[in-house]
Amino acid sequence: MSSNSGIQIPSRLPLLCTHDGVLLPGSTMRISVDTARNMQLVKSRLLKGTSLKSTIIGVIPNTRDPEHDSDELPSLHSIGTAGLAVQVVGSNWPKPHYTLLITGLCRFRVTQLLKEKPFPVAKVEQLDKLEQHTEGDQADGELGELSQRFYQAAVQLVGMLDMSVPVVAKLRWLLDSLPKETLPDVLASMIRTSNKEKLQVLDAVDLEERFKKALPLLTRQIEGLKLLQKTRKLRPDDDKRVLAIRKGGVFPGRQFSLDEEGEDEDSDDTAMLEKKVKAAAMPEAALRVCLKELKRYVLVIFLEETTFHS
Higher local confidence (pLDDT), 258 or 92: 92
How much is the pTM?
A: 0.73
pLDDT of residue 114: 97
Q: Provide CATH code, domain 12-126.
A: 2.30.130.40
- More reliable by pLDDT, 272 or 14: 14
pLDDT confidence bin for 293, thresholds 50/70/90: low
**Cβ-contact 51, 70 below 8 angstroms:** no
For 14-72, write each residue's pLDDT tens digit: 999 999 899 999 999 999 999 999 999 999 999 988 888 889 999 999 999 998 878 89
Helices (H), the chain: 36-41, 141-159, 166-177, 183-190, 195-203, 207-231, 263-266, 269-279, 284-296, 298-305
Task: Report whether pLDDT(175) > 80.
Answer: yes
User: Domain-by-domain residue ranges, the chain?
Assistant: 12-126, 141-231, 238-305
SS3 content of the chain, % helix, strand, coil (to 5): 45, 20, 40
| pLDDT for 230 beyond 60 | yes
Pick 132 or 97 by higher pLDDT.
Answer: 97
Per-residue pLDDT, 93: 87
pLDDT of residue 262: 40
List Cα–Cα distances, 136 to 133, 156, 199, 287, 304, in angstroms: 8, 25, 30, 45, 35
Q: What is the percentage of the chain residues whose pLDDT exceeds 70?
A: 72
Pair 18, 30: CB distance under 8 Å:
no
Identify the band that residue 227 occupies on the pLDDT scale cut at 50, 70 and 90: confident
Backbone angles phi, psi at 70, to 5 degrees: -80, -15
**Interval 215-229 mean pLDDT:** 90
Please state which of the ranges 28-32, 86-90, 141-145, 230-234 shows the lowest mean pLDDT. Answer: 230-234
The mean pLDDT value for 251-279 works out to: 49
Higher pLDDT, 304 or 130: 130
| CA-atom Rg of the chain in angstroms | 21
On average, the pLDDT of the chain sits at 80
